């Protein structure tokens, strides 16, 4: 500060110009310096994020030859064809069906666990750790475990159902139950994350609110209904959007449990992209499908921001 002031005292045109030049030089030097620190990240992002996005858009306008190279320019034809392709439409439906099976149930379970674990009790830390534990387990391992448990004749789940007198469920072998099996696996492996986010949301609710409501005679369900839920609603909304995005991207559990079957009942959007690109080498139409998924996810994200923003404005 002092240095610039002492420079500024003799105000001639020459000085002003050199000062401007000096400032410009300084700016360039700062920019190059910053660039030096940023360049490792920027290289990775350009090569593995931005270039691929552009290439995906490019690929989605071409038919691909058997070697996976773009061959014939078709413009937006791959997109219009997708909208008529019953396999693609089925995979969109499967993905949304999975989201419907997973998200509401997941939210209820995770919320219940968070309410339970939010009480101040001796040893509550152990229970919190148990409820959070599935975050450390990969979808691949979780799916392998459930594959064993879902086995129709020899699986643990049908054995347990048998103990309480329920008939064995064909789980992964039947188009009716396979989506449920995939959903159960997804719910189990997502509980940890959702529990953690909801619990930390709950811990952000000021204790005084509960105390003053309790003075007014409110307790139990009333407190939950009129304090916890309204104050937690941004978090609840947030985890439901994140979970929906997660389920729309589900791949590993489907690859391990069902390979899209039986009768395409679990042939989800991302599984379809995988087979189209890496088993049939139709990079063009696979890219078009990926772009459709991108647009859907972007729309959901924008919706999330708008709703959250509105809450901030009106409260």
How many Å apart are CA 270 and CA 255, to the nearest integer? 10
Q: Decide if residue 51 touches other proteins (CB under 8 A).
A: yes
- Name residue 73's beta-bridge partners: 62
Count of residues interacting with other proteins (CB under 8 A): 88
Residue in the block written with tokens 């387990």: 137
Q: Which of residues 207-266 bind other proteins (CB under 8 A)?
A: 238-239, 242, 249, 251-252, 255-256
Distance (Å) of CA 232 to CA 8, 193, 227: 56, 16, 8
Residue 193 as a binder of other proteins (CB under 8 A): the answer is yes
Q: Check binding of 137 to other proteins (CB under 8 A).
A: yes
Residues numbered 80-109 forming contacts with other proteins, rule: CB under 8 A: none
- Rule CB under 8 A: is residue 177 a binding residue for other proteins? no
Q: Binder to other proteins among 166, 298, 299, 303 (CB under 8 A)?
A: 298
Distance, in Å, from the CA atom of 275 to the CA atom of 258, rounded to the nearest integer, reads 13
What three-state secondary structure class fits 220? coil
Binding part of the chain for other proteins, among 11-19, 74-82, 168-176, 288-296 by CB under 8 A, reads: 288-296
Please give the torsion angle defined by the CA atoms of residues 92, 96, 98 and 101, in that order, rounded to the nearest 10 degrees: -160
- Of the ranges 80-88, 90-98, 171-179, 193-201, which one interacts with other proteins (CB under 8 A)? 193-201
- Residue 202 to residue 119: CA distance in whole angstroms: 11
138 binds other proteins (CB under 8 A): yes
| Distance of closest approach, residue 34 Cβ to other proteins, in angstroms | 4
Q: Tell me the closest approach of the beta carbon of residue 136 to other proteins, in angstroms.
A: 4
DSSP assignments along 193-219, one per residue? HHHHHHHHHHHTS-HHHHHHHHHTT--
């Amino acid at each position: 500060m002092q240095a610039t002031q002492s420079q500024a005292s003799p105000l001639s045109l020459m000085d002003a110009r050199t000062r401007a030049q000096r400032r410009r030089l300084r700016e360039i030097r700062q920019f190059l310096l910053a660039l030096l620190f940023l360049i490792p990240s920027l290289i990775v992002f350009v090569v593995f994020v931005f270039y691929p996005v552009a290439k995906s858009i490019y690929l989605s306008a071409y038919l691909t030859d058997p070697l996976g190279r773009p061959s014939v320019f078709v413009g937006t034809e791959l997109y219009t064809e997708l909208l008529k392709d019953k396999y693609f439409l089925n995979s969109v439906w499967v993905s949304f069906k999975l989201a419907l099976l997973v998200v509401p149930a997941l939210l209820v379970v995770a919320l219940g666990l968070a309410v339970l674990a939010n009480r101040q009790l001796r040893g509550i830390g152990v229970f919190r750790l148990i409820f959070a534990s599935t975050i450390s387990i990969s979808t691949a391992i979780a799916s392998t475990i459930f594959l064993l448990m879902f086995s129709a004749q020899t699986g643990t789940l049908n054995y347990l159902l048998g103990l309480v007198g329920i008939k064995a469920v064909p789980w992964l072998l039947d188009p009716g139950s396979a989506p449920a099996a995939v959903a159960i696996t997804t719910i189990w492996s997502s509980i940890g994350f959702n529990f953690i986010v909801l619990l930390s949301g709950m811990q952000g609710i000021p204790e005084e609110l509960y105390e003053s409501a309790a003075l007014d005679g409110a307790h139990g369900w009333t407190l939950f209904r009129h304090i916890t839920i309204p104050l937690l609603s941004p978090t609840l909304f947030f985890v439901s959007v994140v979970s929906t995005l997660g389920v729309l991207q589900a791949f590993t559990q489907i690859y391990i449990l069902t390979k899209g079957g039986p009768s395409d009942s679990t042939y989800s959007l991302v599984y379809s992209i995988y087979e189209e690109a890496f088993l049939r080498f139709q990079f063009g139409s696979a890219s078009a499908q990926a772009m459709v998924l991108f647009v859907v996810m972007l729309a959901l994200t924008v919706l999330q921001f708008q709703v959250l923003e509105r809450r901030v404005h009106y409260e």
